Amino acid sequence: MVVDLTNAALAPTELSSSDGSALAVSTTTTARKARGGKVFTRRSKNANTQPLPTKSDIYIFYSTLTGTSEKYAAHLQATLSQHSQLSTRGIHTQNLDYLDDIDTYFVAPARFLENAVYLFVVPSYVSESPLDFFTETLKDTYNDFRIDSRPLRNLGGYAVFGLGDREGWDGDMYCYQAMEVDKYLGKLGAPRAFPVGTGNVSGKANDEYEEWIKHLIDALTDPAGVGEMIDIGDSDDEGVEAENEEIDIARPASLKLSKATGAKDVIDVEDMGVIIENSRASSDLTSRKEMVGKDTPTYNALTKQGYTIVGSHSGVKICRWTKSALRGRGSCYKFAFYGIKSHLCMETTPSLSCSNKCVFCWRHGTNPVGTTWRWQVDPPDLILKGALEAHYRKIKQMRGVPGVQAARFAEAFTVRHCALSLVGEPIFYPHINEFVGMLHERNISSFLVCNAQHPEQLKALDQVTQLYVSIDASDKESLRRIDRPLHRDFWERFNQCLDILRIKTRQRTVFRLTLVKGFNASEVLGYAKLVAQALPCFIEIKGVTYCGTSSATSGPNGAFKGASKDSLTMANVPFYEEVRDFVLQLDASLKDLGLDYDIAAEHAHSCCILIAQKRFKIDGEWYTHINYNRFFELLRQGIEFGPMDYIAKSPSWALFGSEQAGFNPEDERVVSKKSKAYKSEQLAI
């Protein structure tokens, strides 16, 4: 049967298919209100139409948690590429969740995007999902009075296809995020090339998709035009309510697309039943979402990576050095530099969410991202109790593991240090000061790492035992490439944080530089200038750790290289000798700038070297270690104190250039076969 969609635009109507079966394509009509926004619908023959560009590139954007949308997007790309009238056009597919520069495409589109056609394939999730960040960005852009509220007006057109599950989420919830994307693209001025389509993954999603594509192609190849503007009046946030009208259309033979795929980095299909059951129970959109709700795909992905989720937004994981120290095989570099015994250390975060998507991040893109806190907030005592319980449970599991030393095993049940790093951004948690206070009450030291993107929170942070700022690049472009920050004003935020660090003279501050070969390991003078700006007490320089795959989308400058996620490889991991060369150069640059720093300690085992302010070298001896008891005493006295008030002498084996190169002589050094093999492989290159 031939379906005429030309009448569907202005007055969405139910058209009948030959089999009279359910509909799949929705059109959107909009209430007319004061602001004068424009809505575009499928062309009406006698309407005032605008031509759809026939030569511009087509961008297929998708977002996915379990892989279905990725497959659908790939199918769309394949179908369009095979079409005689479209095959000459550039057709690109991109995962929205890994889009390096969202602004270039959606906030202030670059010139090369003029007349481009944007197509979207998006799922809907009642729980937190990566797409939330994209929809939040669209909303923020629309509501931000400082910037153009119709930045997408020069696009050639857009169309959205939503995947959802009617069995679990019927009514308003069905494909609600596709509707949202469709609505906000329109609000941002983009002309709708074709109405939003939906596919029910528990029903006939493949057929529905095939049908939508067929008519979309008609629209894209119709030289006469695509959209007609309708004055919709005011489009304040709640004012434009989409009415989804259904068009019944004929169904061709089905597509061979699977319902959910087992692609890497996605959730296993077997887990989905439980996930769906649990999510149905919580489909109240009016309440705030949990950041990582129980049994959501994110929850499952993180627990599979070994995290224990505490409450709804915190995590704890037993670190490999904790296990190593329990077996007498060495602590992490923080033992050499500051006296932290790894078997007494708990690694945790009160915010699994982060505002960066760093290329070397070990979270593999599975944890939530956001620029503002938009989730439920758990109380700090609940987080601390849950984190300690989970940590001790994991320590218990080490009982009976060969080599575990009885004395260290017993000691490990009294945590003395808390590394607030893991994944995410601890400072983002609204009650971070209370949380840190509770650690100190229990004589647990706090090592807090932040990413220099939250100046307000940094300013308001109470005294911690040691405050880290991750410095992953020395200039704006490199920082954008490496950290892939979500904040538009990331560079300003970064600089504000450095300025705040300089005036936080009571804090014991540290720059953490993670060297990634090919990304940021050659910017010595730039780093020295940042040191001059913030004057941190210490600078840790560490070679990046290889952790299987990381989240790099494409290499440097490769903003839009396709849908697949490339990874950092071992080639990006610098040798210790390379890290040492970098440190020597940095030390020289600092001296050239007249700054009073020197190389203090090293931990060759973890490819890490410490530069310190010379005030920590007293009478020729380094005092980079910490007197933890003194720190708690000073806190309890309630007096003002600074970093020099709780120092302790560094052991000789930790000093830079020592024979042990930072390895505690009391521990046994074990070199794994893997690292031996890697070393010889690298030497052979």
Per CB under 6 A, 660 contacts ligand SF4: no
Measured CA to CA, the distance from residue 515 to residue 585 in angstroms comes to 14
Nearer to ligand FMN, 71 or 481 (CB): 71
- Which among 601, 607, 611, 639 is positioned nearest to 535, based on CA atoms? 611
Task: Identify the residue among 5, 345, 398, 415 touching ligand SF4 (CB under 6 A).
Answer: 345
Site for ligand FMN in 49-68 (CB under 6 A): 64-68
- CA distances (Å), origin 424, targets 63, 315, 429: 21, 9, 10
Q: Which residues pair with 468 in a beta bridge?
A: 449, 510
Give the shortest CB-281-to-ligand FMN separation in angstroms. 11
Per CB under 6 A, 201 contacts ligand FMN: yes
Per CB under 6 A, 398 contacts ligand SF4: no
Give the shortest CB-547-to-ligand SF4 separation in angstroms. 13
Site for ligand SF4 in 311-330 (CB under 6 A): 319, 321-322
101 within 8 A of 43, measured Cβ to Cβ: no
Measured CA to CA, the distance from residue 460 to residue 452 in angstroms comes to 14
Contacts of residue 544, defined as CB under 8 A and 6 or more positions apart, other chains included, come to 360, 514, 515, 516, 517, 568, 572, 573, 574
Nearer to ligand FMN, 79 or 348 (CB): 79
When CB distances are held under 5 to 8 angstroms depending on the partner's kind, the choice from ligand SF4, ligand FMN, none that residue 419 binds is ligand SF4
Per CB under 6 A, 174 contacts ligand FMN: yes
Element (H, E) at 246: strand 243-247
Task: Identify the residue among 342, 371, 446, 589 touching ligand SF4 (CB under 6 A).
Answer: 342
579 within 8 A of 541, measured Cβ to Cβ: yes
61 within 8 A of 256, measured Cβ to Cβ: no
Nearer to ligand FMN, 183 or 334 (CB): 183
Give the shortest CB-145-to-ligand FMN separation in angstroms. 31
Measured CA to CA, the distance from residue 331 to residue 605 in angstroms comes to 10
| Part in contact with ligand SF4 (CB under 6 A); list of ranges 18-26, 125-133, 338-346, 543-551 | 338-346
Q: Which residues pair with 597 in a beta bridge?
A: 613
Give the shortest CB-227-to-ligand SF4 separation in angstroms. 55
| Part in contact with ligand SF4 (CB under 6 A); list of ranges 289-297, 340-348, 477-485, 490-498 | 340-348
When CB distances are held under 5 to 8 angstroms depending on the partner's kind, the choice from ligand FMN, ligand SF4, none that residue 513 binds is none
607-629 core/surface letters (b: 16 or more CB in 10 A; e: else): bbbbbbbeebbeeeebbbbbbbe
Burial of 201 (0-12, 13-18, 19+ CB in 10 A): buried
Give the binding-site size for ligand SF4 (rule: CB under 6 A): 10
Tell me the HSE value of 448 on the side-chain side, using a 13 A CA sphere: 29
Nearer to ligand FMN, 78 or 401 (CB): 78
Give the shortest CB-74-to-ligand SF4 separation in angstroms. 39
Give the shortest CB-119-to-ligand FMN separation in angstroms. 15
Give the shortest CB-281-to-ligand SF4 separation in angstroms. 35
Element (H, E) at 38: strand 37-42
Give the shortest CB-512-to-ligand FMN separation in angstroms. 34
Nearer to ligand SF4, 99 or 420 (CB): 420
The structure tokens listed for 402 are 């060969």
The structure tokens listed for 445 are 């030291």
Q: Which residue is nearest to ligand FMN (CB)?
A: 164
Task: Identify the residue among 41, 93, 95, 279 touching ligand FMN (CB under 6 A).
Answer: 279
Q: Residue 61: how many CB atoms within 10 A of its CB?
A: 25
Within 151-237, strands assigned E span 157-164, 197-200, 227-233
- Which among 448, 457, 454, 455 is positioned nearest to 510, based on CA atoms? 448
76 within 8 A of 121, measured Cβ to Cβ: yes
Give the shortest CB-364-to-ligand FMN separation in angstroms. 16
SS3 at position 564: coil
Give the shortest CB-212-to-ligand FMN separation in angstroms. 15
Task: Identify the residue among 419, 573, 586, 608 touching ligand SF4 (CB under 6 A).
Answer: 419
Helix/strand/coil percentages in the chain, nearest 5: 35, 20, 45
Give the shortest CB-446-to-ligand SF4 separation in angstroms. 11
Nearer to ligand FMN, 143 or 202 (CB): 202
Give the binding-site size for ligand FMN (rule: CB under 6 A): 26
Per CB under 6 A, 340 contacts ligand SF4: yes
Rounded to the nearest 10 degrees, the angle between the axes of helix 524-534 and helix 576-592 is 60
β pairing state of 227-233 and 49-50: antiparallel
Nearer to ligand SF4, 386 or 485 (CB): 386
Residue 17: DSSP 8-state: P
Per CB under 6 A, 135 contacts ligand FMN: no
Task: Identify the residue among 226, 332, 354, 531 touching ligand SF4 (CB under 6 A).
Answer: 332
Nearer to ligand SF4, 484 or 625 (CB): 625
Per CB under 6 A, 165 contacts ligand FMN: yes
247 within 8 A of 13, measured Cβ to Cβ: yes
- CA distances (Å), origin 320, targets 40, 343, 364, 402, 575: 56, 10, 18, 15, 20
- CA distances (Å), origin 102, targets 158, 183, 458, 513: 16, 18, 26, 26
Site for ligand FMN in 232-261 (CB under 6 A): 260
CA 72 to mean position of chain CA atoms: 23
| Part in contact with ligand FMN (CB under 6 A); list of ranges 172-180, 395-403, 532-540, 595-603 | 172-180
Give the shortest CB-374-to-ligand FMN separation in angstroms. 17
Look-up: residue for tokens 């296990």?
Answer: 323
When CB distances are held under 5 to 8 angstroms depending on the partner's kind, the choice from ligand FMN, ligand SF4, none that residue 321 binds is ligand SF4
Within 165-287, strands assigned E span 197-200, 227-233, 243-247
Site for ligand FMN in 105-134 (CB under 6 A): 123-127
When CB distances are held under 5 to 8 angstroms depending on the partner's kind, the choice from ligand FMN, ligand SF4, none that residue 296 binds is ligand FMN
Task: Identify the residue among 118, 169, 375, 632 touching ligand FMN (CB under 6 A).
Answer: 169
When CB distances are held under 5 to 8 angstroms depending on the partner's kind, the choice from ligand SF4, ligand FMN, none that residue 272 binds is ligand FMN
351 within 8 A of 84, measured Cβ to Cβ: no
Measured CA to CA, the distance from residue 481 to residue 556 in angstroms comes to 6
452 within 8 A of 497, measured Cβ to Cβ: yes
When CB distances are held under 5 to 8 angstroms depending on the partner's kind, the choice from ligand FMN, ligand SF4, none that residue 358 binds is none
Task: Identify the residue among 26, 206, 296, 308 touching ligand FMN (CB under 6 A).
Answer: 296
Give the shortest CB-343-to-ligand SF4 separation in angstroms. 8
12 within 8 A of 27, measured Cβ to Cβ: yes
When CB distances are held under 5 to 8 angstroms depending on the partner's kind, the choice from ligand FMN, ligand SF4, none that residue 535 binds is none
Q: Which residues make up the interface to ligand SF4 (CB under 6 A)?
A: 319, 321-322, 332, 334, 340, 342, 345, 347, 419
Q: Which residues make up the interface to ligand FMN (CB under 6 A)?
A: 64-69, 123-127, 163-165, 169, 173-176, 201, 260, 272, 275-276, 279, 296
